[in-house]
Amino acid sequence: MTLLDAARERFSRYTREALAWSLGQPARPSPPPEDAEQARRASARAERVHAASKRAVLLLLGLGDGTLARMLCGRLPGRIVILETDVELARRVWPGLEGDLQAPVLLADSSIWSLFFLVRAAGMNVENCTLCRNPASASTDLLAWQRLFLESRVERLPPAAAPPQLSVLCMLHPEEPDLEDFFGHMPPWLHEVCVLWDGAFPPAVFHCPASLRQACRPLDAHFGEQRNAMLALCRTEWCLYLDADERFSPRSWELLPRVLAAPDLGGALFPRQTFEGDEEHVRMGYGLWPDVQLRLLRKNAALRFEGAVHEGVEGVRGCLALAADMPLLHYSHVRKDSQSLRRRLEVFNRAAGEERHRLSGSYPRLPRAFFHAVDEALAGRLIMLPPM
């Protein structure tokens, strides 16, 4: 079985589900047709480079109208993967290519992170893949994906040198569901769990296997300022912040000290899996997966959160790593009723100053086992990221 044969079913399954949903995206006019002579030159150049490299797969960045894809497919049958971040374009063009006898494999999603995860989990890298940019594609997302693919490096998790000095930080509302389960899932080796409650008084004390430290401060519709107050509670070099509807698996907690042992690390991102419908299915497509979250941070004087909503982290010093096989398990949409979710979105909208967040009835999803297989393919590895 070739490298591409092993990835074909997974890529096709993901793309079929992504293309089946529009999520309210407005229709756009068709792109201009590809220049046939330009496509012939690009095809000849890609074929030469690919033959000289003796690599297994050619990654074509951009579907276009299918002209270049057809040429490459005829010259390099069974070796082409097309990556496309314009889902509407792929939905329009792909049916005309899919039935071809020598059709390539399409991997399409608006998220460069999902394309990056799936390609990496398939074992595709700079040693076994040639890249060809479609000159008809003007996608800046594909340029960002290309940089991520070429400049990131995969490293084995180092052994943990000693028990880490790590605090878990969280800002919580007293009415959050499953708080006992949230506190109970913390490992006892943590230095402490620091909680900033939204309000004037803390609720009843919850049992926590690690030391618990609490303070109170009204949220007042500004998440960045609340997170900075949360950050000020931390007394250790390292902090990890979690929301009440998120969990790490026991295996991820076990691996976390090894992440902290990575040299020159300033922070780590984790893929987030949001359950949809039940706890056996995960949302995907359109940025819903892997929904990478920068949550592990090494403290310094410049570190702070900016923004009233969807706040970003500034002042990180050191390298950023992606802990690819340590997902944040996000239970919000299966453990809260729709009324609670709408109330939460109203808080986000007040912070944003406009109605930016809406609750849909359903979302694209795939079985949890699909993502578990991706995690297993990336197990025990850190992906060191280029400056983003």
Cβ-proximal residues to 104 (8 Å cutoff; 6+ apart), any chain: 60, 69, 72, 73, 80, 81, 82, 97
What backbone torsions phi and psi does residue 171 show, to the nearest 5 degrees? Answer: -115, 125
What backbone torsions phi and psi does residue 137 show, to the nearest 5 degrees? Answer: -100, 130
CA distance linking residue 280 with residue 228, whole number of Å? 35
Please tell me the predicted confidence (pLDDT) of residue 69: 95
Count CB atoms within 10 A of the CB of residue 193.
23
**Mean pLDDT computed over 50-66:** 96
**Mean pLDDT computed over 360-374:** 92
DSSP annotation string for 80-126: EEEEES-HHHHHHHTHHHHTSTT--EEEE-S-HHHHHHHHHHTT--T
Buried b (16+ CB within 10 A) or exposed e, 346-378: ebbbbbbeeeebeeeeebbbbebebbeebbebb
pLDDT above 60 for 350: no
CA distance linking residue 120 with residue 105, whole number of Å? 15
Q: What is the pLDDT of residues 28-52, one digit of tens each?
A: 667 778 999 999 999 999 999 999 9
pTM summary value: 0.91
Strand partners of residue 216: 197
**Mean pLDDT computed over 61-66:** 95
Cβ-proximal residues to 281 (8 Å cutoff; 6+ apart), any chain: 275, 365, 366, 367, 368
Q: What is the pLDDT of residues 68-87, one digit of tens each?
A: 999 999 999 989 999 999 99
Q: What is the DSSP code (8-state) at residue 275?
A: B
Where is pLDDT greater, at 368 or 138? 368
pLDDT above 90 for 285: yes
- 386 neighbors 369 (Cβ within 8 angstroms): no
- Closest to 292 (Cα-Cα) out of 243, 326, 244: 326
DSSP annotation string for 185-251: TS-TTSSEEEEEESSSS--SPPP-SS-EEEEE---TT-HHHHHHHHHHT--SSEEEE--TTEE--HH
Q: What is the pLDDT of residues 111-136, one digit of tens each?
A: 999 999 999 999 999 999 999 999 99
Structure-block tokens of residue 316: 């990180």
DSSP annotation string for 316-352: --SEEEE-TT-PEEE-HHHHS-HHHHHHHHHHHHHHH
CA distance linking residue 365 with residue 384, whole number of Å? 28
Domain with CATH 3.90.190 in the chain: 3-151
Q: Assign a CATH topology to domain 3-151.
A: Protein-Tyrosine Phosphatase; Chain A (3.90.190)
Q: What is the pLDDT of residues 183-223, one digit of tens each?
A: 999 999 999 999 999 987 778 778 999 999 999 999 988 89
